[in-house]
Chain A
């Protein structure tokens, strides 16, 4: 296994991976296709004491969900190669209806009516405070 810029958290020849040793009970599924953003975000979530799994595509995230549905929050980029963040959220919501969805996007607004379930938005680029706030909001829903 090659090691990436974020330590042992990402395996190159697979599409996913990462967990923290945090004692927090709720777990986040993070999906971002930019490896550098994924690394930095993973490190930040570790520092903030969140448990998470990181996937670099919608397909990899679905594999995670099929194997283990114990996630409370889906934190996903919208623009992903292959299946989009929106398609992923629809499928994930179908599999785990109580899953809280947070879309990260460089676009200011998600077009209305694209999904028929509640979701939260995190516009890029975001501050640490914005990230914490949206995660807390999702956790307390």
Chain B
């Protein structure tokens, strides 16, 4: 009788211990998720302060100019340049708001992914042309070369692929220091790979680690939020995005997007 009671007691203790372990894991996951969320909000706040700063300085400069010289300080040329600068900052903030929405959708698993029949070499050609045509004031002056000669058909969300490649190219241009950028499309029966080789110092030191590592690399780039969203978009499409940084002599960085066919 005593042996049975002892066995039952041991069983109860083991069950309690297992429950405790499960709770510990859940608590740890929750804490990580909360830290992650906090990091994201900090990052977003930091990124928003960039365009806000530009607009804030602009308004104060205009106010000072008005006080000093009245409306004569604002020639047509000057006004046009001001409007162009304002527009760039506003677009930058719109893009950040879009990232915020996408982040929330990714967290809630409500991000829309709609695969349709897509031809990737044509899509990449359009993206490269579009990004290359962006005014130099927004990006660096690196030349982008596309190597995608073969028609590559499959079922992908064309909008999301375009978004990912645009984000990666924008990031490469911003930190490219005028060095060349290559986009290479390769395909097998099972998957496609889009590699973006950036022959300049990386804007991220350890991008594979996700937002925390990107956040830690705060002093080395201004596209961390976009890169984070880009990585998550790749995952949402059942693919992956990896970043490798080569050593000497060229410190080339390769962003590799892999998607299943």
Interface residues of A (CB under 8 A from B): 4-6, 12-13, 33-37, 39-41, 43-44, 47, 57, 59, 78-82, 84-87, 105-107, 124-128
Contact = CB atoms under 8 A, between A and B. Distances in A.
B45 A106 contact: yes
28 contacts: A5-B82, A5-B85, A5-B137, A34-B50, A34-B222, A35-B137, A36-B54, A36-B85, A37-B54, A37-B57, A39-B85, A44-B61, A44-B64, A47-B61, A79-B46, A81-B201, A81-B220, A81-B221, A82-B175, A82-B201, A84-B219, A86-B219, A106-B47, A107-B46, A107-B218, A124-B52, A125-B49, A127-B60
Interface string B53-68: 1111110110011001
A37 B88 CA distance: 11
Contacts of B175: 81-82
Contact of A128 (B52, B64, B218): B64
A126 to B, nearest CB: 7
Interface of B: 42, 45-50, 52-58, 60-61, 64-65, 68, 81-82, 84-85, 88-89, 136-137, 141, 174-175, 177, 200-201, 203, 218-222
Contacts of A36: 54, 85, 88-89, 137
A39 B222 CA distance: 18
B203 to A, nearest CB: 6
B55 to A, nearest CB: 8
B14 to A, nearest CB: 45
B174 to A, nearest CB: 6
A6 B68 CA distance: 18
Contact of A79 (B42, B58, B218): B218
A88 to B, nearest CB: 10
B53 A84 contact: no
Given A12-B136, A40-B85, A78-B218, A106 B177 contact: no
Contact of B60 (A5, A44, A84, A87): A44
A76 to B, nearest CB: 11
Nearest to B42: A107
